[in-house]
C-alpha cells in the first residue's frame, strides 16, 4: 500500500508563509501526513530538530559546507519518534486496542512513549540479549517487552504472527505504511532549514532502508508542491560492515538482497539482516547518483568520538556509521570539498554507552590534594 495526497490542495495550504506560523514539530507538515484528525494526534512534540552547521568537523575532514541533522534531540532521543507519532496516532483514529513493534531498540522506546501518551497497552518484541540501556526506557514507559531468543529478524517474524492473531497496531508491521510517512518529515525539515534549498548530497544510516526511501519521497513531494525547484540530491546510504546487505547488493550491481543471517556489529540499531526496504533503497541510491558504504566497527566508534569532540554531539553507532562513511568518502575523493552535505544523526549515544566504555581508561584520578591535582594537570594539559 502506498499513500498519496491531493497535492493540488496541499499546495494551497502548505506554503512557507503558513509554515512560519506553525508549531516547531513535525505536525507543521500535517497536510502531508496521513491522519484524518490531526487535532487528535498523539503529540510528544517530535521533530523540527536542529540542523547544525558542523564547522569544526568539516574543517577537520576537509569539507566546507557540512550540516548535521541532529535527531538525537527528539523526545525519546532518536528519529523513531517521527514514524511512531504518525502510526500510533493512526492506531488511535482506528480505535485499535493496543500497539507495539518489533525493535532493535530505538523504536521500542519511541513506541512505548507514544503508547503511554495515548493510554494504550504496548507490546514490544526485541531480540533477547539487546543492550539493556535500550530496553529500560520502554519498560519505564509501561510497555510489555518480549525478548525473542534469536536475531531481530526472528523477533520481527514473531511480531508479524502476533499482529495476525490480535487486532493490534504493530507500527512497523501491519500499520507500516503510516509509520513510513512520519519519517518523511526529516526530509521536509532538511529543505526548510536550508531555506528551501537542497543539499548536494545526504548521508543516511540504513537498517531496513526505510528512512532512505522516506527521504527520497519527501524530496519528490516538495518538488511536486513547488517548495523546492528540483531534486538533484545524491542520496547515499551507510551500514556497518557487520550487517550490510543493502550495501552488498549495491556493490554487486543488483537490487536483490541477500540477507545476513547473524549480524555482528556494535551498531545494533542497524542490525537488520533482512531489510524490507532494501531493494527500493538500492534503486534510489543508484538513480540519484549516490553511493552505499559500510565502515568497520572500529571506524564507527572512532567517528562517534570525533563527532562528540568536534561538535558536542553524542551519537549512537548509527550516527558514527554515517560520519565514518563521510570521512572515508572524503578521503577517497567521492565527496568533493565544496559539496553541501547533510548527515543524519539519528540516535543519542547515551543509548549505547558501551560503545564509549573503552574511554574509561582515559579517566584521570588524583588524591584529594590541591598540589597533587596541579601536578597531574601540568602533566596532562
Partner 1 sequence: MVRVLFSSAVRASTNGEKEVELPFAGTVAELMQALAERYGATFESRLMERGELRRYINVYVDDKDIRFLQGAQTRVGDGSTVLLMPAVSGG
Q: Which is nearer to partner 1, 202 or 249 (CB)?
A: 249
CB 125 within 8 A of CB 103: yes
Q: Is 289 left (phi over 0), alpha (psi -120 to 50) or beta?
A: left
161 binds partner 1 (CB under 8 A): yes
208 binds partner 1 (CB under 8 A): yes
Interface with partner 1 (CB under 8 A), residue from 25, 156, 325, 348? 156
103 binds partner 1 (CB under 8 A): yes
204 binds partner 1 (CB under 8 A): no
Q: Is 130 left (phi over 0), alpha (psi -120 to 50) or beta?
A: beta
315 forms beta bridges with 348
Closest CA to 184 of 227, 153, 220: 220
Interface with partner 1 (CB under 8 A), residue from 9, 256, 354, 375? 256
198 binds partner 1 (CB under 8 A): no
Q: Please count the residues of this chain forming the interface with partner 1, following the rule CB under 8 A.
A: 36
173 binds partner 1 (CB under 8 A): yes
Least distance to partner 1 from the beta carbon of 33, Å?
A: 18
Least distance to partner 1 from the beta carbon of 80, Å?
A: 6
164 binds partner 1 (CB under 8 A): yes
Least distance to partner 1 from the beta carbon of 326, Å?
A: 23
How many whole angstroms separate alpha carbon 120 and alpha carbon 116? 6
Q: Which is nearer to partner 1, 66 or 281 (CB)?
A: 281
How many whole angstroms separate alpha carbon 202 and alpha carbon 326? 10
Residue with cell 537488520: 272
Segment near partner 1 (CB under 8 A), from 120-128, 253-261, 300-308, 353-361?
A: 253-261
Segment near partner 1 (CB under 8 A), from 120-128, 201-209, 226-234, 296-304?
A: 201-209
Segment near partner 1 (CB under 8 A), from 6-14, 195-203, 267-275, 322-330?
A: 267-275
235 binds partner 1 (CB under 8 A): no
CB 79 within 8 A of CB 186: yes
Interface with partner 1 (CB under 8 A), residue from 214, 244, 276, 300? 276
Closest CA to 264 of 273, 255, 275, 254: 273
Find all residues with CB under 8 Å of 337, minimum gap 6, and list them: 62, 63, 64, 330
Is the four-CA dihedral 223, 326, 330, 259 of positive or negative sign? negative
How many whole angstroms separate alpha carbon 101 and alpha carbon 68? 28
Interface with partner 1 (CB under 8 A), residue from 49, 89, 104, 238? 104
Q: What share of the chain is helix, strand, coil (3-state, %, to 5)?
A: 50, 15, 40
- The pattern of x and - marking residues 33 through 72 that bind partner 1 according to CB under 8 A reads ----------------------------------------
Please report which residue ranges of the chain form alpha helices under DSSP H. Answer: 7-13, 16-19, 55-61, 81-93, 106-118, 136-140, 152-165, 176-183, 185-193, 210-225, 245-252, 278-287, 297-311, 317-331, 370-380
83 binds partner 1 (CB under 8 A): yes
Q: Which is nearer to partner 1, 119 or 165 (CB)?
A: 165
Is the four-CA dihedral 331, 335, 336, 341 of positive or negative sign? negative
Interface with partner 1 (CB under 8 A), residue from 57, 113, 135, 210? 210
User: Interface with partner 1 by CB under 8 A: which residues?
Assistant: 80, 83, 101-104, 106-107, 152-154, 156-157, 160-161, 163-164, 172-174, 176, 207-210, 256-259, 261, 272, 274-277, 279
Amino acid at each position: 500500500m502506498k499513500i498519496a495526497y491531493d497535492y493540488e490542495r496541499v499546495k494551497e495550504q502548505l506554503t512557507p508563509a503558513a509554515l512560519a506560523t506553525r508549531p516547531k514539530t513535525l505536525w507543521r507538515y500535517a497536510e502531508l501526513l496521513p491522519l484524518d484528525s490531526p487535532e487528535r494526534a498523539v503529540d510528544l512534540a517530535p521533530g523540527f530538530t536542529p540542523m547544525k552547521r558542523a564547522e569544526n568537523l568539516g574543517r577537520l575532514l576537509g569539507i566546507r559546507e557540512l550540516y548535521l541533522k541532529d535527531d538525537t534531540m527528539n523526545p525519546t532521543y532518536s528519529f523513531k519518534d517521527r514514524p511512531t507519532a504518525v502510526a500510533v496516532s493512526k492506531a488511535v483514529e482506528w480505535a485499535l486496542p493496543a500497539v507495539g513493534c518489533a525493535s532493535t531498540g530505538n523504536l521500542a522506546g519511541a513506541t512505548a512513549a507514544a503508547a503511554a501518551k495515548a493510554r494504550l497497552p504496548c507490546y514490544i518484541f526485541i531480540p533477547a540479549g539487546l543492550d539493556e540501556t535500550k530496553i529500560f526506557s520502554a519498560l519505564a514507559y509501561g510497555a510489555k517487552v518480549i525478548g525473542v531468543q534469536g536475531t531481530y529478524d526472528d523477533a520481527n517474524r514473531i511480531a508479524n504472527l502476533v499482529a495476525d492473531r490480535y487486532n493490534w497496531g504493530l507500527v512497523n508491521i501491519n500499520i507500516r505504511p503510516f509509520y513510513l510517512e512520519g519519517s518523511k518529515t526529516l526530509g521536509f525539515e532538511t529543505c526548510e532549514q536550508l531555506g528551501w534549498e537542497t543539499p548536494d548530497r545526504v548521508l543516511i544510516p540504513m537498517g531496513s532502508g526505510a528512512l532512505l526511501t522516506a527521504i527520497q519521497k519527501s524530496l519528490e513531494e516538495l518538488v511536486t508542491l513547488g517548495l523546492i525547484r528540483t531534486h538533484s540530491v545524491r542520496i547515499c546510504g551507510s551500514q556497518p560492515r557487520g550487517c550490510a546487505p543493502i550495501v552488498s547488493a549495491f556493490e554487486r550491481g543488483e537490487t536483490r538482497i541477500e540477507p545476513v543471517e547473524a549480524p555482528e556489529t556494535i551498531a545494533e540499531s542497524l542490525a537488520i539482516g533482512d531489510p524490507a526496504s532494501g531493494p527500493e533503497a538500492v534503486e534510489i541510491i543508484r538513480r540519484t547518483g549516490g553511493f552505499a558504504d559500510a565502515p568497520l566497527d572500529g571506524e564507527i566508534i572512532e567517528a562517534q568520538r570525533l563527532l562528540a569532540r568536534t561538535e558536542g554531539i553524542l551519537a549512537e553507532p548509527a550516527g558514527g556509521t554515517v560520519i565514518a562513511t563521510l570521512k572515508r568518502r572524503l578521503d577517497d575523493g567521492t565527496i568533493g570539498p565544496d559539496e553541501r552535505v547533510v548527515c543524519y544523526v539519528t540516535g543519542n549515544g547515551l543509548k549505547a554507552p558501551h560503545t564509549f566504555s573503552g574511554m574509561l581508561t582515559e579517566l584521570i584520578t588524583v588524591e584529594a590534594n590541591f598540589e597533587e591535582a596541579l601536578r597531574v594537570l601540568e602533566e596532562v594539559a
